[in-house]
Structure 1
Amino acid sequence: MRKGLTRREVLDVIMQPDSSSELEDVSLSPSDTTDSRESDPDLDVPPSSSSLASTEGEDDSEDPGSGWIGRNGKVWFSTNAETTPFLQPARGVTPGPTCYAIARVQNIDSVFNLFFTEEMIDLIVSMTNLHGRRTMRNWTEMDSTNLRAYMGLLILAGVYRSRGESTRCLWDNRSGRAIFRATMSLSRFHEISRALRFDDKLQRPACHREDKLAPIRSLWEMWMHRLPLLFNPGKDDTVDEQLVPFKGSCSFRQYMPKKPAKYGLKIWVTADVGTSYAWRCDIYLGKTGNAAEVGKGKRVVMEMTEGLQGVTVTCDNFFTSYPLAQELLRKKIALVGTIRKNKPELPPNLVQAKGRPALSTVFAFTKNTTAVRYILKRGRNVILISTRHHEAVVTEGPKKKPEIIADYNRCKGGVDNLDKVVGTYSCRRRTNRWPQTLFFNMVDVSAYNAYVIFTAVDPSWNQAKLFQRRLFLEELGNSLVSAAILRREHLPRAPVAASLKHWGLSRELQ
């Protein structure tokens, strides 16, 4: 008599179908599908539950089925019966310039000075003079007037669309602009460009010697502190990335093939949707170790929204995830964004698009989140999640887009529009030193933010003009160079440039 079954007999018993239940009645338990690497604090069903129906206290007809359960055990429903609307709390602040900024706005020059304070100007002047004395035999000491004039010429070069033009052409007697020759000589402009520094490398603190951003860290942190201090963003904000073009040597230079420049310095930006005001910026310094960072998108959004409350943040699929949406809700912030199809929290009914007709929509709901799948054309689907929307609403029109997609399209371009307007009149000059490239971008963003604040304080200023921002930048550049023109001892030979000294005097008397 045998003591046990053979291997073949054991396999026959295991593979024998169970006649007491059918496949379509089987529902997966969250404990069977939960990913141990990522726990969800907002699971609708406890992990120890054996059936969905018994856990929710509902009958089997309301069982969501395995098609509504993500790979990590997240349970979704096809109706919003259990969804709680997002109630946007009162913010307590008025969108627009802060009281601190409004009290200090007198003219265009004063608005720009809010972003580049005397402390920041003194830092640049002292470090530039220090480097100039070390490296140049006949270095002439620079003061704040010279530096502001240098920044003013950079802004004017951007106004005249001279980013790719040689500086020699700007100072040319025939093809150049008289205001460049009246402000300073071409050789002096080149000297300042070569000596421009933002820290003392020889006296750099030990804690900053391994810091990749050390050459401009002090100036960058002072400038970042000013951005949220001067403006309160509206209820809709965007978190996205900005690529500052740069092809020189830099340890954290990024390659982004979908960007126009492709190579450059990547900056995380939080921008107001209505005005594209850059409310917060942070430089991406590359990987901190050999291993890739897990959850980088979530960490970036949480850091870039620090201090915000009662707003809706829009971001793309690099940042968006269900855990991020839950963390933002705890901060009283709603999230709208596209999400990648490989996220473990998404149910199969949202991910699978094969055989679905074009312009079709499928909604899925949890207690506080709405997800939607929209097929623009056959074989191409996009998935979005939102904690702001809680109803299955589709807009009217031939494409029948869900309301979530309409709101996403309206708010997603906050940072993209900032890139567009900054690039239109950019003051960037060709250089092989990345700190100088970053400084040029700081000037561009500061000039645009100053324009947003000034037009908010004085809405009637050149309101009827279609090129209002160009007039603002031109006036800002003229204000920054007027003091240098007025005190210049040796007038340029060109009569037009020499006559601008009287123009500078008239500006000082105004």
Structure 2
Amino acid sequence: MLVDCGLREENGETHTGIEQRQKTYRQLILSLSDGGSAFSSDAIAKDRGDMGDVGDVDTNAVDTGNRSNKLAVSVAEPWGATPDPDTASSSESGDSETDPDSSHEWLPSGSVSSRDSSPHLWGSSRPHRHSGSTDPGFSGVPTPTECVRIKVPESTRGRATTRGRASIRHGVKDSGWHQGDWQPQTFPFTATPGPQNAAAELESDLPADFLELILTDDLLQHIADQTNLYAKQFFQAHPDTLPHSRGKVWKPVSVPELKTFFGLSFLTGYIKKPNLELYWSVDEIDATPYFSQTMPRNRFQLIWRFLHYNNNASQDATDKMYKVRPVLDYIVSKFKELYQPFENICIDEWMMKWRGRLSFKVYNPQKPIKYGIKSYILCDSYSGYCYNMQPDVGQARSLPDTVFSLLDRLPGHGYTLFMDNFYNSVALCEQLLKSKTNVCGTLRKNRGEPQIFRELTKSDLGVEGKLVRHNGRVLVVAWQEKRLVKMVTTCHHDTMQRVEVWQKGHKEMEVQLKPECIVAYNACMNGVDKMDQNIAYHPFIRKSLNWPKKFVAYLFQVAMFNAFVLYKARNPGKCRTLLEFMKSVVKSWTAKRHVAKEEEVGGVEVEEGRPTTRAPYNHDPSSRLDGQMGKHQLEYLMPTSKKPRPSRKCRVCARRGQRSETKMWCRSCCVPLHAGECYTAYHTKLKYS
């Protein structure tokens, strides 16, 4: 890289100051020509010290006041290169706009380029390009209109350029932005946080009662109606279903049965198995008899198959969330109705993993979940309660509209909103101030910040260095620790706070100073993370090719967590963990469902004081596969007055088309069986026929 250093004389006027600087530069060039490798930048800076303040500098040229001369420092072409005529002409006129990454347009008056002051500079013996000058006094020393080329070694270019830019960036002034006298405009918090309406009036210590404030019987009735409607539409569209198909035994689902279905679904959140069928396994190694005692496997899978949330016949093609719209709107409205967040709230994104075909599927390679359905969520920073959520379906909507729609009825109460750099901008902060809402968060480049922040790099600020500007309403802070962080806030002071942090190589926490806004951001920007962390411990979302089923399962997980927050607020000290809360809900929604109903058992004959129970011929008791072979004992049928040695048809032989009777039966299952192979097949095989 070659640097041109010289003086330009525009109007031909002569001044004592100009002559003095000409003399200084002649001495500089002569020293370089004689083999000198260094010169004093302080002397030049002192000689040019009357050229103006750092902050009053034009980036393209330095104005000397009444003087007509300008100091130009620019990047010249490499040796032997032919300059572009257009470039050359514009350079001579002084109107050229140099590249900020390759020139010294950062240099103010009264300072010298670090390239010029570098001890590694060395002169060149190549004749000057104005060697054709007829000036008899020319001997390598340029006149004010001539220029000397100085070649900068490769090893010093990057370091010198960085130091030169750092010295000017802090001197750039942005109109309307100030450095001191910052006073934040805060608003008092006027809302009453905590449970509201029905949640505040509920006097109960049963977790299921709080969950049913969100997942009400009205919502479950809607799901049951839509499920039954979809099953009816399916069978009408497929009249040629096989006679022995599982769907042939479909019967309409009711709200109590739907609660049992969802209760078992919640149970799969903390009892993990690789596939759904294993929950009904009869193998003594991995058997979970509670599932088979509560609901038959075929019935559970049949409900899951026809589970539906909206009518397909009246589908709205403009609404991409139509499949789940009634459930989504109802649950979110309950979220906002039952709870008022505390003073600090936050907005963040959440991704539900989905790699199937979907028009509004999002891909973000920087996230742990790269493919999925993205939702914007507003949470309470104190408890993690999800107050509002909106799925991202690819609508053309601005970020301010998204933020205000998530806030809903919260503006005007003095809330402090924490957001990351995806949402934040100086203009949005000023809009939220008009609605009496404080803002704090990280800031991206070109979001309305001062020019000095846009050009700031890690090398410009030392470790724990800070740069601050404000416009009277919004404060912008740049702070350097391990990396450069830019913050925007409307409610925090320009002060430093002591915090204890863990540092590598230290066994104890170290005290460190951080800006107040960064400390508050780290403490309050974790509301969505709290919720996501809790529901990630016990997820009951299962793999599915149907995205509405998976999305509603996620909504139910959020509803479970919100109900847990409401329960803790009303019953402090009980159900300390979400797992305890879920266990209680499962017991309530599946209680007494696993006990055999009266209609599942046939008539009872009493002979000699001992009952003889008959099981229905077309129905096997669910307890036959419970794996507890000790209670399934074969006994002889009790004699009667007509048959001293009675016998009945063996259930296994009858299902296999064989007419064979036995004199023994299983006392627990109330089923006549042959000893040996028939007994073993009936109690171990799902399909024994």
TM norm structure 2: 0.58
Equivalents in 2 of 1:254, 1:110: separation in Å?
A: 36
Work out which of the residue numbers 600, 604, 624 in structure 2 matches 1:493: 624
C-alpha contact (below 8 Å) 1:428/1:437 kept by paired residues: yes
Equivalents in 1 of 2:324, 2:177: separation in Å?
A: 48
Instruction: Summarize deviations over 1:30-63 as a string: whole Å, max 9, x none.
Output: xxxxxxxxxxxxxxxxxxxxxxxxxxxxxxxxxx
Partner of 1:59: none
Partner of 2:198: 100
1:214, distance to aligned residue in structure 2 (A): 0.8
1:76, distance to aligned residue in structure 2 (A): 1.5
C-alpha contact (below 8 Å) 1:67/1:349 kept by paired residues: no
Equivalents in 2 of 1:98, 1:27: separation in Å?
A: 60
Work out which of the residue numbers 334, 349, 353 in structure 2 matches 1:245: 353
Partner of 1:190: 301
Equivalents in 1 of 2:295, 2:357: separation in Å?
A: 30
CA gap 1:398/1:199 in 2 versus in 1, 3 angstroms: same
1:351, distance to aligned residue in structure 2 (A): 4.5
Q: Which consecutive aligned stretches of 4+ in structure 1 deviate over 4 angstroms post-superposition?
A: 19-23, 396-399, 494-499
CA gap 1:25/1:410 in 2 versus in 1, 3 angstroms: closer
Work out which of the residue numbers 324, 338, 343 in structure 2 matches 1:235: 343
Instruction: Summarize deviations over 1:262-303 as a string: whole Å, max 9, x none.
Output: 211111111111111111111110144xxxx5xx33222111
Partner of 1:362: 467
Query: Map of 1:62-461 to 2, 5 A cutoff?
Result: 67-69=172-174, 75-79=176-180, 81=181, 83-93=182-192, 95-106=193-204, 107-135=206-234, 136-162=247-273, 165-173=274-282, 174=284, 175-204=286-315, 208-288=316-396, 296-308=398-410, 309-349=413-453, 351-353=455-457, 354-377=459-482, 380-395=483-498, 399-461=512-574
1:482, distance to aligned residue in structure 2 (A): 1.6
Instruction: Summarize deviations over 1:325-362 as a string: whole Å, max 9, x none.
Output: 11111121111100002324333157413332122111
1:26 maps to amino acid: D
CA gap 1:482/1:282 in 2 versus in 1, 3 angstroms: same
1:168, distance to aligned residue in structure 2 (A): 1.0
**Structure 1: stretches of 5+ with no match in the other structure:** 1-11, 14-18, 29-63, 500-510
Task: Kindly indicate which of the two structures has a greater share of residues assigned to helix.
Answer: 1
Equivalents in 1 of 2:453, 2:369: separation in Å?
A: 38
Equivalents in 2 of 1:209, 1:298: separation in Å?
A: 27
1:335 maps to amino acid: V
More deviation, 482-491/387-396: 482-491
Equivalents in 2 of 1:349, 1:220: separation in Å?
A: 42
C-alpha contact (below 8 Å) 2:399/2:423 kept by paired residues: yes
Instruction: Summarize deviations over 1:76-99 as a string: whole Å, max 9, x none.
Output: 2111x2x34333324241x22114
Partner of 1:3: none
CA gap 1:92/1:185 in 2 versus in 1, 3 angstroms: same
1:123 maps to amino acid: H
Does the residue aligned with 1:212 lie in a helix, a strand or coil?
coil
CA gap 1:457/1:222 in 2 versus in 1, 3 angstroms: same
1:224, distance to aligned residue in structure 2 (A): 1.0
Instruction: Summarize deviations over 1:477-498 as a string: whole Å, max 9, x none.
Output: 1211125335754543245899
Instruction: Summarize deviations over 1:450-473 as a string: whole Å, max 9, x none.
Output: 11111111112145xxxx221111
C-alpha contact (below 8 Å) 1:246/1:265 kept by paired residues: yes
C-alpha contact (below 8 Å) 2:223/2:309 kept by paired residues: yes
Equivalents in 2 of 1:146, 1:260: separation in Å?
A: 37
Does the residue aligned with 1:110 lie in a helix, a strand or coil?
helix
Equivalents in 2 of 1:104, 1:496: separation in Å?
A: 42
CA gap 1:398/1:67 in 2 versus in 1, 3 angstroms: farther
Equivalents in 2 of 1:422, 1:243: separation in Å?
A: 13
1:22, distance to aligned residue in structure 2 (A): 4.4
CA gap 1:111/1:128 in 2 versus in 1, 3 angstroms: same
**Percent identity of paired positions between Structure 1 and Structure 2:** 23
Equivalents in 2 of 1:221, 1:141: separation in Å?
A: 25
Matching of residue 481 in structure 1 with residue 590 in structure 2: yes
C-alpha contact (below 8 Å) 2:477/2:488 kept by paired residues: yes
Equivalents in 2 of 1:236, 1:483: separation in Å?
A: 44
CA gap 1:218/1:349 in 2 versus in 1, 3 angstroms: closer
2:233 maps to amino acid: R
Partner of 2:62: none
Equivalents in 2 of 1:122, 1:197: separation in Å?
A: 12
1:105, distance to aligned residue in structure 2 (A): 4.9
2:251 maps to amino acid: T
1:473 maps to amino acid: M
1:172, distance to aligned residue in structure 2 (A): 0.9
Matching of residue 26 in structure 1 with residue 56 in structure 2: yes
Partner of 2:99: none
CA gap 1:25/1:386 in 2 versus in 1, 3 angstroms: closer
TM norm structure 1: 0.77
Partner of 2:46: none
C-alpha contact (below 8 Å) 2:195/2:338 kept by paired residues: yes
